[in-house]
Amino acid sequence: MKNLRTTSASIFLCLCLAGCAGSSDKSAPPLTDTQNQAKTTLESQMKTAAKTAETYHAMDNPALLNKLVEQSAAQKEPFNSLAYRELKTRTNVDSNSLITLVKQNTNATGLLPLLLLRKLDNKSYVALPVEMRAKILTDALQSSKNFNTWGLPHLYLEDASNAMMEAGRSTVPALTRMLSETRPAPVFGSQEYMEYEQYKYRLCDYALFFLEKIQGNADFRLPLSVEERDSLIKKMSAK
pTM of the entire predicted model: 0.83
Q: Is the pLDDT of residue 6 over 70?
A: no
Helices 95-104 and 130-143: crossing angle in degrees, nearest 10, is 60
**Would you give the DSSP letter of residue 146?**
S
Q: pLDDT tens, 56-89?
A: 999 999 999 999 999 999 999 999 999 999 999 9
Beta strands in the chain (DSSP E): 151-152, 156-157
pLDDT at 32: 86
Distance CA 226, CA 207 (A): 14
Question: How many Cα neighbours within 13 Å face the side chain of 48?
Answer: 6
pLDDT at 27: 64
Mean pLDDT to the nearest integer, 109-127: 98
**Confidence band of 93 (pLDDT split at 50, 70, 90):** very high
**Spatial CB neighbours of 1, under 8 Å, sequence gap ≥ 6:** 152, 155, 156
pLDDT greater at residue 38 or residue 177: 177
**Confidence band of 26 (pLDDT split at 50, 70, 90):** low
